[in-house]
Amino acid sequence: MIYIHIPFCVRKCLYCDFYSVTDKSLYRAYTDALIKEIEGIKGTETNTVYIGGGTPTAIGNYLLEIVDAVNKNLVLSENCEFTVEANPGTVDEKILSSLYKKGVNRISLGAQSFNDNELRALGRIHTSKEIFESCDAIKNAGFSNFSLDLMLATPHQTMESLEYTLSCIEKINPPHVSAYSLIVEEGTPFYDMELNLPNEDTERKMYYYASDFLSKLGLLRYEISNFAKEGFESRHNCGYWRDEEYIGLGAGAHSYYGGARYFNASDIKSYIEGKGRKEDYTPISEKERKLELFMLGLRMTAGVLYSGEFPERVNPLIEKGLLEIKEGRLRLTPRGTDCANLVFMEFLND
């Protein structure tokens, strides 16, 4: 699995704490540095490539150069899942067709909401109409595999406005949807703002309403926040949840292979200068790896294969009705799904 980070956005959304900047003057130097890093792992075989951000489509033709470098240097398996994240307002049929012709076969589009007042409150650069236009462009360019990101419990959102957003999803009929509940992160503008947010009960209602609605469209929940038609589950993300190894390229990207984690410096200028690449290295013990396997695997609806590991952590969670064992697999109960973060905390290493 290969992850490539593009740390640029047209404008920062008010809730987002992913590392990205808006300085266009860095596009050329960043692309060159990234291509060098790709060349550095020439010959690596992979079954998934995920170019994420930030907003990969914000950098236009530079993105095409990066895709060319991937094709030239890496060995993509047959049926390799090759995803690019895109934002409405930064894509048209021309760039999408070029990506498709170069072997990209999946687009993940950040829609978030189909209500313009909610999009404005989130600080998004696009309108609902532009989401529809981007989806038409994605389909016209030839993509049959694409995903839309939605956000739940955002400012001004109500059950009625969520129903409208979901009715737009029904019209577009994507084979994959991600739906994340808003996290107000420290350091983002939202953290210091008075927000008109739905309360926690409404947030849960929204999550269950969205889950039920999507399942009626054949989009079945396979992870806490991810829904797919059969065969369209994201292979790249499932790889993370199954604790598979990956190489991350670009500023701030993490890697995980050979029993250790590696981190690239997140500062773009340091990255361009070639400093801080995979210098920070943390070996992982066998116990830590197993705990992580549980923490990640429990995110998936199918859970993890279970043969009695960590009973001191697992049994109390079963007694509280948060975990259950079914056909040899340990998984979250519906109550456990409601407070998944509390469950995952029990699997942190000590």
Q: Which stretch binds ligand SF4 (CB under 6 A): 8-16, 23-31, 214-222, 243-251?
A: 8-16
Which of 39/92 has CB closer to ligand SAM?
92
Tell me which of ligand SAM, ligand SF4, none is bound by residue 206, counting a contact when its beta carbon lies within the kind-specific cut-off of 5 to 8 angstroms.
Answer: none
Nearest approach in angstroms of CB 348 to ligand SAM is 21
Contacts of 91 (CB under 8 A, 6+ apart): 57, 109, 134, 137, 138
CA angle 163, 150, 31 (to 5 degrees): 155
Adjacency order of strands within the sheet including 75-86: 220-223, 226-228, 176-181, 146-152, 106-112, 75-86, 45-53, 2-6, 247-249
Query: Could you tell me which of 110, 145, 82 has the C-alpha nearest to residue 9?
Result: 110
Q: Tokens 């404005």 map to which residue?
A: 120
Q: Exposed/middle/buried for 8, CB within 10 Å: 0-12, 13-18, 19+?
A: buried
Which member of 6, 49, 53, 59 binds ligand SF4 (CB under 6 A)?
Answer: 53
Which of 87/178 has CB closer to ligand SF4?
87
Query: Could you tell me which of 14, 23, 9, 165 has the C-alpha nearest to residue 90?
Result: 9
Q: Which stretch binds ligand SAM (CB under 6 A): 11-19, 158-166, 268-276, 296-304?
A: 11-19
Contacts of 108 (CB under 8 A, 6+ apart): 52, 83, 84, 85, 86, 146, 147, 149, 176, 178
Window 36-75: residues binding ligand SAM (CB under 6 A) = 53, 55
Q: Please give the residue whose beta carbon sits closest to ligand SAM in the complex.
A: 110
Which of 5/278 has CB closer to ligand SAM?
5
Which of 47/127 has CB closer to ligand SF4?
127
Q: Which stretch binds ligand SAM (CB under 6 A): 12-20, 76-84, 191-199, 259-267?
A: 12-20
Q: Is 9 in the site for ligand SF4 (CB under 6 A)?
A: yes
Q: Is 183 in the site for ligand SAM (CB under 6 A)?
A: yes
Q: How far is CA 311 from CA 182, 308, 316, 318, 338, in A?
A: 33, 6, 8, 10, 22
Q: Is 87 in the site for ligand SF4 (CB under 6 A)?
A: yes
> Binders of ligand SAM: how many residues, by CB under 6 A?
15
Q: Which amino acid is at 202?
A: T
CA 84, CA 107: separation in Å to the nearest integer?
5
> Binders of ligand SF4: how many residues, by CB under 6 A?
11
CA 71, CA 103: separation in Å to the nearest integer?
8
Nearest approach in angstroms of CB 192 to ligand SAM is 14
Q: Which stretch binds ligand SAM (CB under 6 A): 28-36, 177-185, 261-269, 306-314?
A: 177-185
Q: Is 112 in the site for ligand SAM (CB under 6 A)?
A: yes
Tokens standing for 333?
Answer: 């109960």
**Strand pairing partners for 304?**
330
Residue 57 near residue 86, CB atoms below 8 Å? yes
Which member of 5, 31, 51, 85 binds ligand SAM (CB under 6 A)?
Answer: 85
Nearest approach in angstroms of CB 154 to ligand SAM is 8
Pick left, alpha or beta for residue 313 (phi over 0 → left; psi -120 to 50 → alpha; otherwise beta). alpha
Nearest approach in angstroms of CB 334 to ligand SF4 is 29
Residues near ligand SAM (CB under 6 A) are 15-16, 18, 53, 55, 85, 87, 110, 112, 149, 151, 180, 182-183, 185
Residues near ligand SF4 (CB under 6 A) are 9, 12-13, 16, 18, 20, 53-55, 87, 110
